[in-house]
Structure 1
Amino acid sequence: PPTYQEVEAFVNDKSPDAYEKLIDRLLASPHYGERWGRHWLDVARYADTKGYVFTSERRYPYSYTYRDYVIRAFNEDLPFDQFIREQLAADQLDRKGDDRSLAALGFLTVGRRYRGNIHDITDDRIDLVSRGLLGLTASCARCHDHKFDPVPTKDYYGLYSVFISSYEPEEKDLPVIGKPKSEKAYEAYQTERAKRQKNVDDYIHGEAEKFRADARLSVGDVLQAVAEKQKLAAGDQKPQFESKEAPHRRYVDLWRSYLARNAKSQRAVLAPWNQFAALKVKPEEFAARAAEIVQKLSQQEAETQADKRVNLLIVHALKNNPPENIYDVCRAYGSAFKEVEQAWTKELAEAEKAKKPRPEKLEDPAAEELRQILYDADCPAASDDEVAASMFNRAQRNKIRQLEKQLETLDVTSPGAPPRAMVMLDKDKPITTHVHLRGNPGRRGDQAPRQFFRILAGADRKPFEKGSGRLELAEAIASPDNPLTARVFVNRVWMHHFGEGLVKTPSDFGVRSDPPSHPELLDYLASRFMEEGWSVKSLHKIIMMSATYQQGSQESKQARLIDSDNRLLWKRSPARLDFEAMRDSLLFVSGQLSEETEGRGFQIDEMPTEPKRTVYSFVDRNNLPNVFRTFDFANVESSTAQRPYTTVPQQALFAMNSPLLIEQSRFLVKDLELEKVAKEQNVDAAITKLYQRVLLRNPAAEELELGKQFLAHHHDQIETPIRMTGWEKYAQVLCTSNEFMFVD
């Protein structure tokens, strides 16, 4: 709010442009962006947590960078069409060396995570873009063509293709867009993060080493699993694994691919396998046919030609245990590889014990041939740490999540963590998805190319061609030829100025919405908005300079009979301050409001008297602070067009009993030195000073008298669970009055 002195200066300014100068000053204030940016954050369903995420870190470490971007964009009067482009495709724009605009992509990424369901996450983004920017309820077309508006399911999945063609980097790979305020804190953060990252890497490497060691000893098991998956066994034959658990499905697939890919390059080892795998015989015939194959292989033992040679250890394993089914073949291979691995491990141990150089190979050529396969980077048994980690069991994965959560917690809590942008980037190859029949991803319909809504782009629209299509989508939305974008935003601004939009449903301009109360005015403002370079501040000024905006709130019985809802704007409707404005006003009049901006949000439940502006508080999607719920905060589960306004007993209880009101009343009395003023001057002077600070005016004679009666009755400390002096209680009364809580 303004100060009493600012109000007096304005009232006493007799120049013809006094009002215009006031508007210019308010629009130039850095607090303008905090106020109006908060309205946009409601549309963007901004929150600092992900929703329910099982055992993962539920907090976004860098969501605040989007909030700070929005405030900065409004303060700098970033053209709204550019604001749209940056929020949808900042990664693809020329940033001219300033990467801070990458934070704009938080518009897409700060939403709820739906337990990792990519279809629901993508639907949330489509809903945000269509309702938030276009006033279209496109998500209604997820399962079927829109029942009312001209949005077919294919158009919905066209946008689905756009967003599914992008991905979010891991948090550690998000681009840094600034520096922490403290270099010392940053150094401490880097040191601690490196330590915690090493814990993760060391654990994964250690478990991957165990995986590789086990894998080299259990080739027979995975070959049995391959045989089972490829249905090489006949009848009711089943594999018999040496290990307690069957091989991981991905590991089996890796071996299948390896066997097919290396049939020629590893012929000496794999030729027998391929011959047995090609057998199509009944179970009772397998042993006889296998004996024939083994006999032929025995005859090739002396061969030296590459295209005829076979590995002697494999042949001997088959001869020593004549196979009766395909699984016996697998176990023979497994025993040969196992013997080689054990022999190699023994040689390494003996060399280390004798302090000799590490051996480079096994002396036996056949054994060395098998060893080279086991340790070849292309072999699944030698999978790198990342691949091995993808096949860890649940206990191992839980341990990794526990260690990673320590990393994430550091990113969330450390003051030295640098700000990063929650970006989306294009995938290397864009995806053209299919329509999900009845919304079921498992039932595919027609292809849905990446393109804009037909109702807006026209029948000759062309599919997007540049990567995911996000930039082309942004250009289509921000185009002056788009009939919705400017109207939707102008209507939102009008709504926040007057309490109700020209169109009553700010996020739904479809056929079910009421027509605008002043259609020509809406068209005019949208046109002027674009002509003024999509300047939001210019739009404010056009509205606030109007005679309609400058009306008073006086009642008229005749007008009330004609237009009881004030849709024709014959007077100004009083508006209650939302919670952010109310709390900030309390901090301001008590002299406690901090000028600190940006950065991570503070916990308003734990720190109710924190002096930072309320827009910088932490918004928990799962556990919205009670005070937010009490005072009609936005629903952060999805895009909020307009907050509800309720009057419930909890609000009055908050005003009477909350630590915020009590503490600010004490600070207010102390800051104004009311008791001193009352003693050195008189009580009237102290009451007047209090009125000027809180209500920005002088008290009437009746109010002075009532104030003195109140103070006389409460001259001592009031006996309540929280002791307050009479002046503190009186200050609290004024701070909870309708005059303070409402703008009229």
Structure 2
Amino acid sequence: MPNASSHILTLSLLLCVTAQAAAPAVIDWNAARQHWSFVPPKVQPLPAVKDASWPRERVDHFILAQMEKRSLTPAAPADARTLIRRVTLDLTGLPPTPEEVAAFVADTRPDAYARLVDGLLGRRAFGERMASLWLNLARYAEDQAHQVGNNSTLNYPNAWRYRDWVVSAFNSGLPYDEFIKKQLAVDLIEPQNKSDLPALGFLGLGHKLYARSRLDVQAEEWAEKVDAVSQTFLGLTVGCARCHDHKFDPITMRDYYALAGVFASVQMVNLRPDGKDEDGKTNAEKMDAGTLHIVRDESSRDLPVYDRGDMESPGPVKVPRGYLQVLSKSGPVNFKQGSGRGELAQQIANAANPLTARVIVNRLWDMLFGKPLARTTSNFGSTGDRPTHPELLDDLALRFVQNGWSVKKLLREIVLSATYRQSSLGSEANAQLDQANENVWRMERRRLSIEQYRDAVLAVSGDLDPAGGASIDLSAADHHKRTLYTKVSRRELNKTLMLFDYPDANVHAARRSSSTTPTQKLFLMNSDFMIGQAKRLAARILQGAADDSSRIRRIYALLFAREPLAEEAALAQAFVRETPSDSALTGWEQLAQALLASNEMLYVD
């Protein structure tokens, strides 16, 4: 019996099948390649600025030049306490400790902030923070959107091995071009490299459907991989050309089936540590702990162009496996080595590719500012938004490649910039000229992701378990690991994750949405997790300081990286003294919960 998840997976096909067949597009490829994102990034001269004392990095010249053209002025620098909380949460997903804050505030060396940044980039928590962003792009999950009874044969009990590989890759400084190639084809490019096989989970953790021997079912699985690869790495919606030539971008049905042929030539396998496959009939709970969910090549297979995406209406000629023509210098680039995964990986990770570096640079900017340079982070096509600072995006993309595709170097440069160090406080004069802050004249105040917030709560209560490894249900009472190490379901996403805008794991998620709902506050007030953490935090405060004044200062330092204002301290002391003795929670526990649920805890300035 069909269910809602199967409808989700087939919606695009149904829409295409019922549409009128589109006439083949006649594309002027030279003209098509003039779209801004298809033009290779160019070396940019450093813009002249009037206030030469403000820039700290190259980034700042581009930002300030545009501000000055619009009669805007930068916000004042953030104070030291705000800055260390911001950069620590941004780069590690965890808050700084009071001791770290005090040391940074007291450090008067000119390179104190640079030293802080370097230390953060060297922590294991950095890779965990980056993985929490990457896994949404990779539509990471540990099961399928559908399951009949107790049949879990299509689930991924060891999906976490791909997640751990991603953490390790970011921590080790793996260049981004290598990061791409390993996830698409490490088995073909480096056949002897067994340690990086978990990287193939990017493809191996895709959708598996029942009745997989049927052609129409296989087509759904190919489509899902085309969509994930094209949006994640190229910022293009190639999947829109499955049933007709792309309505807006120079991507044809021929392009789509050339890429789909690559994925029609691979098999998703559960590879045991001894090199053998699981039999495919074993329930997930009965698999070797070392089994990997990956892909490998099978017989190479070129596909015809199916009329309107209908698998019962193949065209007369098969399309060679290959690459998008608009990203090729002249005619189509055909793949001849096995499935073509290795050649596809080389094309995507090529320094000459105009999209790859731009797309990831834009995502990393978004991570730090809460607002990407090009708003549509996974759509660099005609219907996507043009970048607000095109010269800056080009400059960053080119130097990202020149610096060895180093994510850490790029992030370091951006967080050291004067642009990043600005206060989030507004300016009435600036707001009248640019209320939306399109020109980055101040820092955006951003709400923490559910991972950052939950991890911060565990950290300040003293309850955070730094261990990684296998996933745990988020609702489990003993789950004190970072939220990254939570089971992610396509069939039924955990309600807490859903409540705080964790994306649907069935699809590539370009960005997180950010909603504000009454049920979020109800969770903070009533959930067993929050009440338990409030009790732990209160106990930590009571054990760590001898008097109320010191305790209040300590809780503010833990949660907000600052001293309480005199009025705040007075209110807190009065509150804990006046709480009735027969209350379900003590005064300190209630204060701890109120502060954990405050906007200052939920947001970063």
TM class by shorter chain equals 0.7 to 0.9
2:272–2:290: 8 Å Cα contact kept in structure 1? no
1:595–1:612: 8 Å Cα contact kept in structure 2? yes
Aligned to 1:32: 126
Q: Measure the CA separation in 1 of the matches of 2:363 and 2:383.
A: 18
Aligned to 2:177: 81
Alignment map for 1:174-253 (pairs within 5 Å): 174-175=272-273
Aligned to 2:553: 688
Aligned to 2:462: 591
1:668 match: secondary structure:
helix
Q: Report the CA distance between 1:673 and its aligned residue.
A: 2.4
Q: Measure the CA separation in 1 of the matches of 2:332 and 2:547.
A: 76
Q: Report the CA distance between 1:717 and its aligned residue.
A: 4.0
Aligned to 2:240: 140
Query: Of the candidates 196, 199, 203, which is equivalent to residue 108 of structure 1?
Result: 203
Q: Report the CA distance between 1:460 and its aligned residue.
A: 3.4
Q: Measure the CA separation in 1 of the matches of 2:436 and 2:444.
A: 10
2:510 match: secondary structure:
coil
Aligned to 1:69: 165
Deviations 1:300-347 (A, max 9, x none): xxxxxxxxxxxxxxxxxxxxxxxxxxxxxxxxxxxxxxxxxxxxxxxx
Query: Of the candidates 578, 598, 603, which is equivalent to residue 737 of structure 1?
Result: 598
Aligned to 2:256: 156
Query: Of the candidates 622, 633, 651, which is equivalent to residue 520 of structure 2?
Result: 651
Alignment map for 1:717-732 (pairs within 5 Å): 717-718=582-583, 723-732=584-593
Q: CA separation of 1:80/1:176 partners in 2, compared to 1, >3 Å: closer, same or farther?
A: farther
User: What percentage of aligned pairs have identical amino acids?
Assistant: 39
Aligned to 1:618: 487
Query: Which protein is bigger by CA-based radius of gyration?
Result: 1
Aligned to 1:41: 135
Deviations 1:222-243 (A, max 9, x none): xxxxxxxxxxxxxxxxxxxxxx
Q: Measure the CA separation in 1 of the matches of 2:489 and 2:114.
A: 40
Q: Measure the CA separation in 1 of the matches of 2:508 and 2:302.
A: 26
Q: Report the CA distance between 1:419 and its aligned residue.
A: 2.0
Aligned to 1:316: none
Q: Report the CA distance between 1:443 and its aligned residue.
A: 0.8
- Whether 1:123 aligns to 2:223 is yes
Q: Report the CA distance between 1:25 and its aligned residue.
A: 0.5
Deviations 1:584-639 (A, max 9, x none): 111101111011112x210112x155111110000111111110110000121110
Alignment map for 1:542-621 (pairs within 5 Å): 542-598=413-469, 600-605=470-475, 607-608=476-477, 610-621=479-490
Q: Measure the CA separation in 2 of the matches of 1:95 and 1:724.
A: 60
2:158–2:289: 8 Å Cα contact kept in structure 1? no
Name the aligned partner's letter for residue 602 of structure 1: I
Structure having the higher helix fraction is 1
Q: Report the CA distance between 1:457 and its aligned residue.
A: 1.2
- Whether 1:706 aligns to 2:571 is yes
Aligned to 2:285: 409
1:53–1:113: 8 Å Cα contact kept in structure 2? no
- Whether 1:430 aligns to 2:300 is yes
Q: Measure the CA separation in 1 of the matches of 2:294 and 2:563.
A: 52
1:176–1:418: 8 Å Cα contact kept in structure 2? no
Of stretches 460-469 and 641-650 in structure 1, the one that deviates more from structure 2 is 460-469
Aligned to 1:238: none
Aligned to 1:523: 394
1:506 match: secondary structure:
coil
Q: Report the CA distance between 1:53 and its aligned residue.
A: 3.6
Q: Measure the CA separation in 2 of the matches of 1:128 and 1:68.
A: 20
Q: Report the CA distance between 1:715 and its aligned residue.
A: 4.7
1:100–1:421: 8 Å Cα contact kept in structure 2? no
2:231–2:378: 8 Å Cα contact kept in structure 1? yes
1:111–1:638: 8 Å Cα contact kept in structure 2? no
Q: Report the CA distance between 1:408 and its aligned residue.
A: 3.0
Deviations 1:55-94 (A, max 9, x none): 5315312211111111111111111000110111011132
Q: Measure the CA separation in 2 of the matches of 1:644 and 1:698.
A: 32
Q: Measure the CA separation in 2 of the matches of 1:166 and 1:59.
A: 19
Aligned to 2:36: none
Q: CA separation of 1:586/1:95 partners in 2, compared to 1, >3 Å: closer, same or farther?
A: farther
Q: Report the CA distance between 1:410 and its aligned residue.
A: 2.0
Q: TM-score, normalised on structure 2?
A: 0.80
Q: Measure the CA separation in 1 of the matches of 2:252 and 2:111.
A: 52
1:167–1:425: 8 Å Cα contact kept in structure 2? yes
Q: Report the CA distance between 1:555 and its aligned residue.
A: 0.6
1:422 match: secondary structure:
strand
Q: Measure the CA separation in 2 of the matches of 1:145 and 1:14.
A: 60
Aligned to 1:210: none
1:47 match: secondary structure:
coil
2:188–2:342: 8 Å Cα contact kept in structure 1? yes
1:168 match: secondary structure:
strand
Name the aligned partner's letter for residue 12 of structure 1: A
Q: Measure the CA separation in 2 of the matches of 1:561 and 1:667.
A: 46
2:292 match: secondary structure:
coil
Aligned to 1:419: 290
Q: 5+ unaligned residues in a row in structure 2: which ranges?
A: 1-94
1:90–1:104: 8 Å Cα contact kept in structure 2? yes
Aligned to 1:60: 156
Aligned to 2:499: 630
Aligned to 2:13: none
Aligned to 1:232: none
2:305 match: secondary structure:
strand
- Whether 1:673 aligns to 2:534 is no
Q: CA separation of 1:571/1:105 partners in 2, compared to 1, >3 Å: closer, same or farther?
A: same
